[in-house]
Amino acid sequence: MSDVIHSDSIRTLFSNAMSEMYRTEVPQYGTLIDLVRDVNEAVLAADPALKARLEAAGELERLDVERHGAIRLGTAQELFDIRRMFAVMGMFPVGYYDLSVAGLPVHSTAFRPVDEAALSRNPFRVFTSLIRLELLEDRGLAEEAGRILARRKIVTDRALELIATAEKNGGLTEAEAKEFVTEALETFRWHSEATVSAGTYKKLHDAHRLIADVVSFRGPHINHLTPRTLDIDAVQKGMPERGITPKAVIEGPPCRQAEILLRQTSFKALEEKINFTGEAGSSEGTHTARFGEIEQRGIALTPKGRALYDELLGKTRQAVAVGSKGDGASSYEEELKKQFEAFPDSFDTLRREKLAFFRYRAAPGATFDGTSANLEELIKSGALIADPQVYEDFLPVSAAGIFQSNLGSDAQSNYSGKANQTAFEEALGAKVASETGLYSKTQTGSLVAALTALGQAHLASLDEAA
């Protein structure tokens, strides 16, 4: 069909609608957005070069647009349907995150745009977790939870119809897309009416707070949205001044010149009133699930760079543990900074040591006379330019920290994992893409194109850039 609109446009309709809904549902989130905007404005005012760079890249007008959200699902069927729903919006499963390493009974993926044009139009992603009832010790309770989950339908009938239409026609018309987004929103909406009694909720909650959050409600309410900030340290500091309680530490690498991977922090989940069902009528209770988060992204790392990151983070966490009340947070930050002195802090060094992924291009109008012997010469001459590739994915240890903090504790925990990617992909009905594979493809493809443009294609095979 010729009048289908681009999936990127549907994603933008969706992320805008989610943002509006979440701001109305969680007023503190609106306060966080205001703080992020103020901090971003201050950073831009103090750094005109950065402002010019963002403006040239078309980044300025969508600086405040949300970068990600998260949901937690209950069954294989739900994960299967959600994959089909996100595909309509040009979002595909990338990466497998085993959160059992942190004692959490979930495993996850990120639904996100994969090609470069789509990412630059709107990078909105959804960190999506599937609960793992098989990890529950209490088998009776696991079965009961399974029965409760089997009764619910998280995607509306009309949304399912429109998904099938999109699959058949290769997309949706504008009118269909608008209706689809309205229907999709129903899946992620908050329901203060629990589907279980106070007694069942308590049993689920005692087994694990995450289990109660997933099993007790009609759908997988969006549990946070995350805008981008240009200065995460300033937002972390600014939160208490606006009456918001941040988690104890910023997750990820420390503050650096050459930013790597992903830094994130969140405000603590709110305690919200809910109603339980019951034979003797409904009763009131509270539930904490929904919060707000901010993120700051840096360059994607090669497997070699990532191994170094994991090693330094591991050493930090071994040396200093943050307690459940956030005690030890400042020694943790000091230790992190100290450990990461071993991580080169310039993009040029990161490139030469093959620690990070770049995107290559020929300088506008550049030519290179003769045959160059190596890439470094081309880069030094200014003919070949290497731009950092932004990390578009998540970090399991950081994600665990965000989960923990919003389950009521800042304590860091380290367990041994029980990864099961095969089971996850069976439920999903598809394989998850390898994030490294995507960055590597972009790097190689851009290098070959740039070298060809410079008449230096012979170098493309010489350099296995990563």
Q: Tell me whether strands 271-277 and 66-73 are parallel, antiparallel or unpaired.
A: unpaired
Residue 98 contacts Ni ion per CB under 5 A? no
Q: Which is nearer to ligand OOG, 235 or 350 (CB)?
A: 235
**403 touches ligand OOG by CB under 6 A:** yes
Say whether residue 129 binds ligand OOG (CB under 6 A): yes
Q: Which among ligand OOG, Ni ion, none contacts residue 398 (Cβ within 5 to 8 A by kind)? A: ligand OOG
Nearest approach in angstroms of CB 119 to Ni ion is 17
Distance CA 139, CA 20 (A): 40
Question: From its phi and psi, is residue 360 left (phi > 0), alpha (psi between -120 and 50) or beta?
Answer: beta
Report the residue from 320, 402, 453, 465 that binds ligand OOG according to the rule CB under 6 A: 402
Q: How far is the CB of 223 from ligand OOG (least distance, A)?
A: 5
Q: Give Cα separations from 289 to 114, 235, 268 (angstroms).
A: 29, 22, 9
Rounded to 5°, the CA angle 450-389-312 comes to 135
Which one of residues 75, 216, 264, 404 is an interface residue with ligand OOG (CB under 6 A)? 264
For the window 277-316, what string marks contact with Ni ion as x by the rule CB under 5 A? ----------------x-----------------------
Residue 142 makes contact with ligand OOG by CB under 6 A:
no
Q: Which is nearer to Ni ion, 70 or 181 (CB)?
A: 70
Enclosing H/E stretch for 428: helix 421-428
Size of the site for ligand OOG (CB under 6 A): 13
CB of 376 to ligand OOG, least distance (A): 36
What CA–CA distance (Å, rounded) separates 356 from 440? 10
If phi > 0 it is left, if psi is from -120 to 50 it is alpha, else beta; for residue 191 that is beta
CA-based nearest residue to 70, from 127, 125, 154, 131: 127
- Judged by CB under 5 A, which stretch of 39-47, 64-72, 160-168, 422-430 contacts Ni ion? 64-72
Residue of the chain from 10, 13, 70, 390 that contacts ligand OOG (CB under 6 A): 70
Report the partner that residue 128 touches, choosing among Ni ion, ligand OOG, none (CB closer than 5 to 8 A by kind): none
Q: Is the dihedral of CA 190, 195, 198, 202 positive or negative?
A: negative
**Residue 66 contacts Ni ion per CB under 5 A:** no
> Least Å distance between CB 406 and ligand OOG?
6
Which residue number places its CB atom closest to ligand OOG?
A: 399
Q: By CB under 6 A, name the one of 223, 236, 409, 440 that touches ligand OOG.
A: 223
Q: How many residues bind Ni ion (CB under 5 A)?
A: 2
Query: Could you tell me which stretch among 142-150, 168-176, 385-393, 402-410 binds ligand OOG (CB under 6 A)?
Result: 402-410
CB of 264 to ligand OOG, least distance (A): 5
Which residues, at least 6 apart from 23, have a Cβ–Cβ distance to it below 8 Å? 29, 30, 33
Number of C-alpha atoms within 13 angstroms, CB side, residue 413? 19
Answer with the entry of ligand OOG, Ni ion, none that 129 interacts with (C-beta below 5 to 8 A by kind): ligand OOG
Q: What are the residues whose beta carbons fall under 8 Å from the beta carbon of 413, sequence distance 6 or more? A: 102, 103, 400, 404
DSSP 8-state class, residue 424:
H
Q: How many whole angstroms separate alpha carbon 305 and alpha carbon 10?
A: 35
Which amino acid is present at 299? Answer: I
Nearest 5°: CA angle at 51, between 49 and 57?
Answer: 105
Q: Structure tokens of 16?
A: 């805008």
Helix (H, G, I), strand (E, B) or coil at 276: strand
In the stretch 270-309, what mask flags binding to ligand OOG with x, by CB under 6 A?
-----------------------x----------------
Between 317 and 359, name the residue whose CB sits nearer to ligand OOG: 317
Interface residues toward Ni ion, by CB under 5 A: 70, 293
Interface residues toward ligand OOG, by CB under 6 A: 70, 72, 127, 129, 223, 264, 293, 394, 398-399, 402-403, 406
